[in-house]
Amino acid sequence: MLKPQENELLTRTGPGTPMGALFRRYWIPALFSTSLPAPDCPPVRVKLLGEPLVAFRDTQGRIGLLDERCPHRTASLFFGRNEDNGLRCAYHGWKFDFAGNCLDTPSEPREHNLKARIKQKSYPCQEHGGVVWTYMGPPDQQPEFPHLEWTKVPPSHRFMTRHVQECNWLQGLEGGFDTSHLSFLHKGDTTLSVPTRYEVIPTDYGFVAGTGREAENGAITWSANVMLMPFHKLIATTPLGGHMWVPIDDQNTMIYCFEYSPDRPLEDDEMERSRTWNGIHAENLPGTDFAIMNRANDYLIDRELQSSGHSFTGIKGLAMQDCGIQESMGPIADRSIEHLGLSDAVIVKLRRFLLATLKEFSAGGTLPGLDPASYRVRSARFTAPGSKAFQDVVDEHVRIDGPVFAD
C-alpha cells in the first residue's frame, strides 16, 4: 500500500504539482489530427493536466494550442472565429496567432498599441502518427520528439482510437501492468498458469516489466511489456499494441489505444476483434470521446451472460472490462487501504519506480526518456534459459533500430 501523501504525490498532475511538472517535460498527445481536418476549420476544446485549452489549425496549416480563456475578459476562445492565420475572440474581437501573439484588439484605440503588450499562453505542437502532440514544460527544456515506432509507420499499418476513462491516470497505468488480472477479469479461467517470476527493470526510457512462466528444460518464457515515460505502455501482442493514459485532470483520463505492424498493413482477420470492439478499443457515442458502455449505464453488464460462464464479467470487450473495474475504485483510488499479495509484485515495483523517478527529478536529476533514441524499443515475448536473469537478456529482445527511424 501507499501512504496517503505518496498517493497524492503520484496522482496529482495539475499546475504547480511535482508530478505535473514531471509530465510537462514530455511530449503529450492533445488530440487526433483529424479533429482539425483543414486550415481555418472550427477550433476544438482540449483539456490536459487540468488546463482548459483550445486547439486550432490556422490558414497555413499550423496548429495553435492556447489557453481557452481570452486574456481580455476570460471568455472562451472556443467560440472564436478561425480566420486569416489567427483565432479571433467572439466577445470583443481580440485575435491571437498560433504562438499566442496578439494580432488585433479592435475594441481598443489603435494608438495605444495594446496588442504589443498582450501574450496569450500557448504550447508548441507537432504532428506525428495522426496525433497532435504538445510540450507544456519550460521552453528551454523542450526535448526532441521521441522515436516512437508506431508514429512512423504508414496509416495502413496502424489502428488507433481514444476514449475518456473516468478516473485518475495512475489507475489506468497500474491496470495495464497488473498481470494477474488477465486470467480472471478477461478470461475467467482460474486453471490458467500464473507467472512464477515478476521483474521490473528501470531503463533509460522508463522500465520494462517481465512476467515469466516455466517452460521445458528449465527455461523461462518471458512476456516483456515496456513502459515509456511518463504514461505509455507497449504490449507484447500480435499485432503490436499499446496505450497512453493522458491526464485530462486528476479525475479523468484520455486513454489512447493503438495497434500496429512495423513492416506491413494490418490485415482484416487480425483486426476483427478490435473492429468489433472486443479488444483494447472502445466504441464511442457518435461524435464524442465517451464510450457507449460507461459508468452511467454500468457498462451494459449482462448478468445472464456472466452467470452462464461465457463471460467472467458480463461486460463486452477488454477495454470496457478494464475501464469498469478501474473506474469502480473511485475517481482517485485510496491506495492506503489496499492489501497487496505476491502477485502484486509488479505494481509495488512500478510505484517505487515512479516515486524514485519523481524524487530524482525534484532533486534536479535527469529524467528517463528525454533522449529521443531511447524510445527505440518494442514489447516482446521470448524464451531464455532459467539460469539467466531477466535483466541480462531483455535488451536483445526489446531494443530495435532500422529503416523506420531513418530521417
Number of alpha carbons in the 13 Å side-chain half-sphere of residue 318: 17
d(CA 357, CA 366): 9
Extract the residue ranges of the chain whose pLDDT is less than 70: 180-195, 406-407
**Cβ atoms of 36 and 56 closer than 8 Å:** yes
Q: Which of 117, 141, 165 is the last residue of a domain?
A: 141
Give Cβ neighbours of residue 127 (< 8 Å, ≥ 6 apart).
33, 63, 133
Give Cβ neighbours of residue 59 (< 8 Å, ≥ 6 apart).
39, 40, 83, 84, 85
To 10 degrees, the CA torsion angle through 124, 401, 170, 23?
Answer: -30
Q: Are residues 326 and 198 in the same domain?
A: yes
d(CA 347, CA 171): 11
Q: Are residues 342 and 389 in the same domain?
A: yes
Q: Are residues 329 and 280 in the same domain?
A: yes
Q: Are residues 363 and 269 in the same domain?
A: yes
Strand, helix or coil at 349? helix
* CB neighbour class for 199 (10 Å; exposed up to 12, middle 13-18, buried from 19): buried
What pLDDT, on the 0 to 100 scale, is given for residue 304?
87
CATH number of the domain that residue 172 is part of: 3.90.380.10
How many structural domains is the chain composed of?
2
Residue 216 inside a domain? The answer is: yes
Find where cell 527511424 sits.
405
Put simply, whether the predicted model's pTM sits higher than 0.75 gets the answer yes
What pLDDT, on the 0 to 100 scale, is given for residue 389?
93
What pLDDT, on the 0 to 100 scale, is given for residue 370?
96
d(CA 290, CA 396): 40
Q: Are residues 47 and 158 in the same domain?
A: no
Q: Are residues 154 and 125 in the same domain?
A: no
What pLDDT, on the 0 to 100 scale, is given for residue 239?
93
Q: Are residues 320 and 230 in the same domain?
A: yes
- DSSP codes of every residue in 121-159: -EE-EEEETTEEEEE-S-GGGPPPPP--HHHHS-GGGEE
Residue 35 inside a domain? The answer is: yes
> Residue 171 is inside which H or E element, if any?
helix 169-176
* CB neighbour class for 117 (10 Å; exposed up to 12, middle 13-18, buried from 19): exposed
Q: Which of 151, 138, 122, 153 is nearest to 29 (CA)?
A: 151
d(CA 334, CA 341): 17
Longest CA span, the chain: 85
d(CA 133, CA 33): 9
Q: What is the residue range of 48's domain?
A: 27-141
Strand, helix or coil at 391? helix
What pLDDT, on the 0 to 100 scale, is given for residue 194?
61
Q: Are residues 235 and 362 in the same domain?
A: yes
Contacts for 34-42: CB closer than 8 Å, 24+ residues apart:
34/130, 35/132, 36/63, 36/132, 40/82, 40/83, 41/82, 42/82
Q: Are residues 275 and 359 in the same domain?
A: yes
Residue 140 CA, chain-centre distance (Å), reads 24
Count of helix runs (H) and strand runs (E) in the chain: 11, 19
Q: Which of 141, 176, 193 is the last residue of a domain?
A: 141
What pLDDT, on the 0 to 100 scale, is given for residue 313?
84
Q: Which of 177, 277, 275, 195 is nearest to 234 (CA)?
A: 177
Q: Are residues 92 and 153 in the same domain?
A: no
Q: Three-state SS string across 211-271, please?
A: EEEECHHHEEEEEEEEEECCCEEEECCCCEEEEEEEEEECCEEEEEEEEECCCCCCCCCCC
Residue 104 inside a domain? The answer is: yes
Residue 19 inside a domain? The answer is: no
Q: Which of 141, 158, 179 is the last residue of a domain?
A: 141
Residue 15 inside a domain? The answer is: no
Residue 8 inside a domain? The answer is: no
CATH number of the domain that residue 66 is part of: 2.102.10.10
76: DSSP letter: B
Q: Which of 170, 147, 192 is nearest to 373 (CA)?
A: 147
Q: Are residues 72 and 177 in the same domain?
A: no
